[in-house]
Amino acid sequence: MKQKLLALAVAVGLVVGAAAQAADTVKIGLMAPLTGSWASEGQGMKKIVELLAEQQNAKGGVLGKQIEIVTEDDGGDPRTASLAAQRLTTKGVAAVVGTYGSSVTEASQAIYDEAKIPQIANGSTAIRLTEKGFKHFFRTAPRDDEQGRMAAQTIDKLGFKTVAILHDSTSYAKGLADEANALLKKKGTNVVFFDALTPGERDYTTILTKLKSANPDVVLFTGYFPEAGLLLRQKKDMNWKVPFIGGDATNNSDLVKIAGKEAAEGYYFLSPPQPQDLDTADAKAFLAGYQKKYNEMPASIWAVLAGDGFQVMVAGIAGAKSTDSAKIADYLHKDLKGYAGLTGSLSFDAKGDREGEVYRVYQVDAEGKFIMQK
């Protein structure tokens, strides 16, 4: 009984304390996977958003008030996320940044929409998220079909005329392969091969032999890095010198370890830029500040996209001159054009999707390093 009373007293104290503060700060919610299997992403998101809030407050905050970040853990799990979203809606936040996984974001979307709180997701790339007609939902991450468009464009730009497409039957890889295939055919590029390998095997020489007889200028492989590494290695053993292009699922340093440096050299892949490759002056200053405060680089680009989400929301509140959700959403949809974010320029279309290119082309050099192509 005593414990319950104590807990009640603490709870009342917290609520009263929070209410007392509400008047002189603008609260922005952060929903992130602080625990669970994506914890490193979530911790990175928290560090970045807190640093940016600190910097913004030093410049005077927004609407003449200081910004207060209210963080909730979604555990990288849809059920935990819906609870976290419900807690955030009761805390008087003007906007919410987050979260990482598509299914986790999906579990929270309707809750924020009903509470009329603008939400900006950072790592959720599933197409369906912005096809539901939510007026208050935005994302800084590219959509999955964006990558297919970029793949087709890159193949075109590098001047390849005949293309072989290989996927691994996962929904991600097959989706990307289908998207690229349709776009390439529309452009008149000759797709001479389209098939899937079985992930988890060791020997892909059968597939490579068949690919070789189709004689493509380039092979687009949309699967993951373990298979990509083996393909490159066995391709080299076969003395076949065709270039390979992969998707962002091959952006992993283990790729070079598996393939060996010689076999990996020259391999192209598409990926959002690595944090260390962000090249605008703002981004460089931010990375230096991050390095100083936390003594490390941001773990991934997805966490940096949460920072962009935060900045966009602050810009939205400042632009709308209000914390009214309809005005913020309206401003972001219509008036925010070419905002200079950490990962490049930010604008949003009517669905809340980010406009402009996020993907970059990378190539593996002789040292096995991933070099961003200009």
Report CA torsion sign: 160, 161, 166, 171.
Answer: positive
Q: Return the H-helix or E-strand segment holding 299.
A: none
Q: State the nearest-atom distance from the C-beta of 179 to another protein, in Å.
A: 18
Q: Which residues pair with 256 in a beta bridge?
A: none
Shortest Å distance, C-beta 162 to another protein: 18
Neighbours of 8 (CB within 10 A): 10
Residue 29 three-state SS: strand
CB closer to another protein, 33 vs 226: 226
> Would you say 205 or 347 has its CB closer to another protein?
205
Q: Between 164 and 314, whose beta carbon lies closer to another protein?
A: 164
Smallest gap from Cβ 257 to another protein, in A, equals 5
Residue 319, interface with another protein (CB under 8 A)?
no
Alpha helices in the chain (DSSP H): 2-22, 39-58, 78-89, 102-114, 144-157, 171-187, 205-214, 225-237, 254-259, 261-264, 281-294, 301-320, 325-330
Cα 306 to Cα 148: distance, rounded to the nearest angstrom: 23
Give least dist CB 309 to another protein, A: 30
Q: How many other CB atoms are there within 10 angstroms of residue 309's CB atom?
A: 32
Q: Which is nearer to another protein, 342 or 364 (CB)?
A: 364
Least CB distance from residue 180 to another protein, whole Å? Answer: 17
Give the C-alpha distances (Å, rounded to integers) separating 296 from 71, 289, 292. 22, 10, 8
Residue 209 within binding range of another protein, rule CB under 8 A:
yes
CA distance 70 to 73: 10
Q: Which is nearer to another protein, 121 or 232 (CB)?
A: 232
Select from 184-192, 215-223, 228-236, 322-330 the region that touches another protein (CB under 8 A).
Answer: 228-236
In the block, tokens 């007293």 appear at: 9
| Window contacting another protein (CB under 8 A); options: 53-61, 237-245, 296-304, 353-361 | 237-245
Comparison of 90 and 253: residue with beta carbon closer to another protein: 253
Site for another protein in 154-193 (CB under 8 A): 169
Number of residues that bind another protein (CB under 8 A): 29
By the 8 A CB rule, do 32 and 99 touch? yes
DSSP code for 333: I
Judged by beta carbon, residue 180 or residue 259, the one nearer another protein is: 259
Find the shortest distance in angstroms from Cβ 264 to another protein.
Answer: 11
Q: According to the binding rule CB under 8 A, does residue 206 interact with another protein?
A: yes
Cis peptide before 206 (omega within 30 of 0): no
Number of other CB atoms surrounding residue 188 within 10 Å: 8
**Longest Cα–Cα distance in the chain:** 79
Report the site for another protein in 238-267 (rule: CB under 8 A).
238-239, 254, 257-258, 260-262
CA distances from 113 to 60, 73, 307, 322 (A): 29, 19, 22, 18
Q: How far is the CB of 295 from another protein (least distance, A)?
A: 24
- Binders of another protein among residues 283 to 312 (CB under 8 A) are none
Segment near another protein (CB under 8 A), from 20-28, 101-109, 145-153, 236-244?
236-244
Member of 49, 117, 207, 336 binding another protein (CB under 8 A): 207
215 near another protein, rule: CB under 8 A = no
Site for another protein, rule CB under 8 A = 169, 195-198, 200-203, 205-207, 209-210, 213, 226, 229-230, 233-234, 237-239, 254, 257-258, 260-262
